[in-house]
C-alpha cells in the first residue's frame, strides 16, 4: 500500500509542477528483482487513487528483467532471483546490476 501511495504522491507532485488536472494512464516500470508483487500493486493503486487526480486511471506495468554481474565468469547474465546462481557457471558470486527498480515511466494526462 505504501508503494502505491508513493506513486500517487509522485503523480500529484507532477500535476502541481506541470499544471494538469487529470491522469488517465500510468506506466510503471517494475524490476523482476524488486520484490514488488504486481497484482498487489494494481489492487493497491486502484484503492489509493480513488477520489484523487488519478481516479480510474489505468495502470500499465512494464516488467524489467533482472540482471547481474558474475564475478567468477566475468559476464553480465540474466537473474531470476537475488541470491540465485549464475546461469553460465553455477557460481554464487553475483552482483545485481538491474531489475531492482520501480519507477513511474510515463503519465497520460489531461
Residue 110 DSSP one-character state: -
Place of cell 501511495: 5
Exposed (0-12), middle (13-18) or buried (19+): which is 74, by Cβ within 10 Å? exposed
What count of other Cβ atoms lies within 10 Å of the Cβ of residue 11? 20
User: pLDDT by residue (tens digit) across 69-105?
Assistant: 999 999 999 999 999 999 999 999 999 999 999 999 9
Give the tens place of pLDDT for each residue, 28-84: 999 999 999 999 999 999 999 999 999 999 999 999 999 999 999 999 999 999 999
Cell of 107: 503519465
Q: What whole-number distance in Å separates Cα of residue 4 and Cα of residue 51?
A: 14
Mean per-residue pLDDT for 2-25? 96
Report the CATH fold assignment for 2-64+98-109: hypothetical protein PF0899 fold (3.30.2320)
Amino acid at each position: 500500500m505504501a508503494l502505491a501511495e508513493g506513486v500517487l504522491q509522485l503523480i500529484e507532485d507532477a500535476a502541481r509542477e506541470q499544471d494538469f488536472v487529470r491522469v488517465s494512464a500510468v506506466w510503471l516500470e517494475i524490476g523482476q528483482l524488486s520484490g514488488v508483487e504486481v497484482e498487489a500493486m494494481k489492487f493497491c493503486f486502484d484503492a489509493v487513487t480513488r477520489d484523487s487526480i488519478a481516479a480510474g486511471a489505468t495502470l500499465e506495468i512494464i516488467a524489467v528483467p533482472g540482471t547481474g554481474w558474475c564475478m567468477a565468469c566475468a559476464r553480465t547474465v540474466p537473474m531470476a532471483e537475488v541470491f540465485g546462481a549464475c546461469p553460465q557457471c553455477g557460481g554464487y558470486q553475483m552482483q545485481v546490476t538491474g531489475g531492482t527498480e520501480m519507477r513511474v515511466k510515463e503519465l497520460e494526462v489531461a
